[in-house]
A = this chain, B = another copy of it.
């Protein structure tokens, strides 16, 4: 029966002479392309290294570091997650490791580890497996769509060659460590591992993130084919765009459009009730986040809305109920250069809270589908894709126990104008009003349209939008506190 491993299992070899003739032009070409890549800085390259044990993955990484200019290559290796890492979504550390544009990251098959583990069990839960594969595919799709090129190398050899290689390693006490218990198991169950590899490759092969099988029994051949694959990746002029996913999240909540029109902007609360209720809700919130059950949860709050909608004031009413060691407020402004060199979600992944903590975003990743869309900072295809990427991102947070709540504080244009004027006349608030605010104000209809589309596409049960009238600041603040408190209490 023919298989994708046919060639590799023939253990093809390259003579030293043949290799010597190939080596120099290959190295020159590789370096030349690496420098072009570095200068162009239009993408990062991630090389995923996976495959059968004993096939020389570690040596290959050394080789790439030697053949390429190592100053622009980083090895992304992951150990078993630490306790600290386990307090975050598991994919966070992969996100954090993404190399900047112009450079190369060599990623040990970490992304595939959970799948490999699942497949190596006797009984595989097909739903769980499907979910893991889908999660890996989404991760890769998001990277590729955001200028991270991915190639995946699977190192393979025949049963006999593997046996010989493992025995060689085991025979020397100082290389025996390279064969861990798992490897010995692998060694016993070649067929099973082979089949597992095949399934992973089939499930995750894509034009934009392709697998290449590297025949690994012979060192010369392994080096040559690896270098060739990397060279081909560098030489590719544009990276393939992943097909767009179904934009509807499974958790999307059916909601009418025109949510902003339908709000009761006259909603208000008396000063007296406000003071009393504020204290009451702050007390409840303060208690709720100190419950023992919250230690396995986290809270991610997003605040969006037109300028002067009262985001800062609402946030301060929350933080006053909190212990400064438990929360962080993140004011999101324009991305800095080193952030621009990564996929736009990268900088938010760096700020997600660990279990037991609270992160409050004053503006957020929704900038992608708001200001970046309206001002043209993001291409149409990029912000359109972002709805799905954001839903996936928030799903990752929710899966690790995050309560994700998103608030849109809605004011009418008239109310905004009067606040702008008041700010201009307040000596310690006029810093809050800039020419940009007036420019944004002229874009009011565009923001309304973008916001409505955003609500429609990203209002999910795992991360719902709370669209609140905020012409009366007190009313809005109480509503915010109430919704947060109730969500935490229910969770």
- Contact between B84 and A177, CB atoms less than 8 A apart: no
Q: Which of B61, B172, B321 contacts A283 (CB 8 A)?
A: B172
* Interface residue ranges of A67-91 to B (CB < 8 Å): 67, 69-71, 75, 77-79, 82-85
The answer for the CA separation of A35 and B284 in the assembled complex, in Å, is 37
The answer for the CA separation of A111 and B392 in the assembled complex, in Å, is 39
Contacts A28-B427, A338-B336 given; does A325 touch B77 at CB 8 Å: yes
The answer for the CA separation of A56 and B172 in the assembled complex, in Å, is 64
The answer for the CA separation of A320 and B77 in the assembled complex, in Å, is 15
The answer for the CA separation of A79 and B290 in the assembled complex, in Å, is 14
The answer for the CA separation of A62 and B83 in the assembled complex, in Å, is 31
Interface centre among A78, A83, A174, A427 (most CB of B within 10 A): A174
Contacts A83-B82, A325-B108, A331-B71 given; does A24 touch B284 at CB 8 Å: no
Cβ of A66 within 8 Å of any chain B Cβ, yes or no, is: yes
- Contact between B287 and A428, CB atoms less than 8 A apart: no
* Interface residue ranges of A310-333 to B (CB < 8 Å): 312, 316, 319-321, 323-325, 328-329, 331, 333
Instruction: Return chain B residues, CB-CB under 8 Å to A178.
Output: 323
Cβ of A101 to closest chain B Cβ, rounded Å: 14
Q: A28-B428, A69-B431, A177-B287 are in contact. List 9 more A-B contacts (CB 8 A).
A: A30-B428, A61-B324, A69-B432, A70-B331, A82-B83, A82-B84, A84-B84, A84-B85, A175-B286
Q: Could you tell me which A residues sit within 8 Å of B by CB distance?
A: 24, 27-28, 30-31, 35, 58, 61-62, 65-67, 69-71, 75, 77-79, 82-85, 108, 172-175, 177-178, 282-284, 286-287, 290, 312, 316, 319-321, 323-325, 328-329, 331, 333, 336-338, 362, 427-428, 431-432
